[in-house]
Chains A and B, each alone.
Chain A
Amino acid sequence: MKLLYFAWLRQKIGTAEEDVTPPAEVTDVAGLIDWLRGRGPAYAEALRDERVVKVAVNQEYVRRDHPVRPGDEIALFPPVTGG
C-alpha cells in the first residue's frame, strides 16, 4: 500500500510517501498506525498523539476501524488549516 504524509507529519517522519507491506495482522487503520510506530523513533514521535492524526483511505476521511488493504492509498496528516 502507498502511504502519504503531509505537513508536520511529513517533516517528522522524513518522507512524503512510501510503499509499505505490513504483516497480515494489520487489517485496519488503528493497526496500521500501531505498526508504523514500531518502525522507528521518528514514526513513534510523529504518531505519538493520536488526536492530531487524521487519516484518509483512497482520498476519503475514515475512522480508525476502517479496513486497509494492499493497493490502498493511505494518507496521514494533521488537522487541516486551509481557508
Chain B
Amino acid sequence: MIRVQREDFDIGAEISALTAGNHAIGGVACFAGLVRDMAGGDDISAMTLEHYPGMTEKELARIEAEAQARWPLEASLIVHRYGRLGPGERIVLVVTASAHRQAAFDAAMFLMDFLKTKAPFWKLEDTGGDARWVDARESDESALERWRKPAR
C-alpha cells in the first residue's frame, strides 16, 4: 500500500492497521525519516518537499511491487509526505511485515534505498536567510548496488 500526503501520520496506528487480522505475520520492520535541524553545519528552520503528482505514486507502487516479488511479505506500506515540514517532523514511513524478521528488515532497507533514488521528490532546505535545494548523494546511488544480485 502506498500513500502520498501532506498530513502527518501516526506510526503506531499505521502498523496496527497494516497488520490487523493477519496472524501469519511474525515480524514487522519499520523505518521513519524525520527532518533534521542541521545540514552541512547550517541550522535548518524548515524543509519543503516538492513532488511529481502521478509519477510519484507510480514509482512508489513499482518499488513496492518489486519488494513483494523479492521477499515473502505479508504486508507493506510506504507513506511519504510533501509540503513544508519543520525540524522533528516525520517525512517518510516504510513498514514491512513477514513471517520472519530477515525478509522484513531486508525489504524495508530495499524500499528506502530505491525510494531515495527513484521516487520523484525534491527537498528545499530553509536556512533562515535563503533556501537551497538538497543535492543528491553519491552514497544513495551506490546503496542500490547491494540489491543488484537476487535477494534469495
On A, residues with C-beta under 8 Å from B are: 4, 6-8, 56, 59-61, 75, 77-83
Contacts and interface: CB of A to CB of B under 8 A. Distances in A.
B121 A80 contact: yes
B119 interface: yes
Given A78-B133, A80-B120, A82-B122, A7 B115 contact: no
Contact of B112 (A8, A79, A83): A83
Interface residues of B, number: 26
A64 B112 CA distance: 27
Given A7-B133, A8-B133, A83-B91, A77 B115 contact: no
B43 interface: no
A56 B51 CA distance: 13
Contacts of B51: 82
Given A7-B133, A8-B133, A59-B58, A82 B121 contact: yes
B123 A77 contact: no
Given A81-B134, A83-B33, A6 B122 contact: yes
Contacts of A4: 52
